[in-house]
Amino acid sequence: QIEGSHACAKETATLMRSVVSYHRISHTNPAASLVEAVKAVGTELIAANAV
């Protein structure tokens, strides 16, 4: 579990960097493919923080 806004921001940035680095890019629309991957991870992060 991560505590504190600074630690949370750092871990989120690290996770998003990994998503961008390891994402398999679609040849038909690479930008949209990457945006969808980032949105999916963001949705999961928001759901995980349900307080």
Domain ranges within the chain, ordered by starting residue: 5-48
Q: Is the confidence at residue 44, as pLDDT, over 90? A: yes
Confidence of residue 50 (pLDDT cuts 50, 70, 90): low
Residue 17's nearest CA partner among 47, 1, 41 is 41
Residue by residue, DSSP assigns 11-51 as HHHHHHHHHHHHPPPPSS-HHHHHHHHHHHHHHHHHHHT--
d(CA 44, CA 23): 16
Q: Is the confidence at residue 16, as pLDDT, over 90? A: yes
Are the C-beta atoms of residues 21 and 41 closer than 8 Å to each other? no
4: DSSP letter = S
